[in-house]
Amino acid sequence: MTAAATRRIGNGGQYHRASPTLAAVTLVFAFALAGLPPFSGFWPRVILTQAALLEARWWLAAAILLSGLLILIATARTFAAAIGTDRPAEKPAHHLSARDPLFMFAPPIALAALTVLLGVWPAIVMSIADRSVATLLSP
């Protein structure tokens, strides 16, 4: 089975069937962007929300959380329109097949794995960020 890409996002076709790998990687990035756990976007959103609440800026905390919700809705709709539709694609520009070699997907899979790794073990990046902040505050 093949799916074809088009220039219009709503005509993406059946990528979820032609390439489940591409669909899964796309969902990982969408969830990380929205700040859902266990992805890398979760901890920055938690830290910013906590800082806003500690400064008694509830409106800022609400805006941070609302932006995550809106990003989740937007990326879910984009995913559904571009990748998860059951309509056949129109005007093929490039064919994607389930028989495509796995090495084609190696870079996005590696980035998706890094996104999950940084979400599960945020201490890796937090220690670097803490040192950077300490250097900036007292050069």
Per-residue pLDDT reduced to its tens digit, 80-105: 877 766 655 554 445 555 556 667 78
The pLDDT value given to residue 126: 85
The pLDDT value given to residue 138: 87
Say if residue 46's pLDDT is above 90. yes
Domain boundaries, the chain: 2-137
How many CA atoms does the CB half-sphere of 20 hold within 13 Å? 1
The pLDDT value given to residue 80: 80
The first and second tokens of residue 3, run together, are 């799916």
Phi and psi (nearest 5°) for 134? Answer: -60, -40
Say if residue 117's pLDDT is above 80. yes
Alpha carbons 72 and 36: distance in angstroms, whole number: 9
The pLDDT value given to residue 79: 80
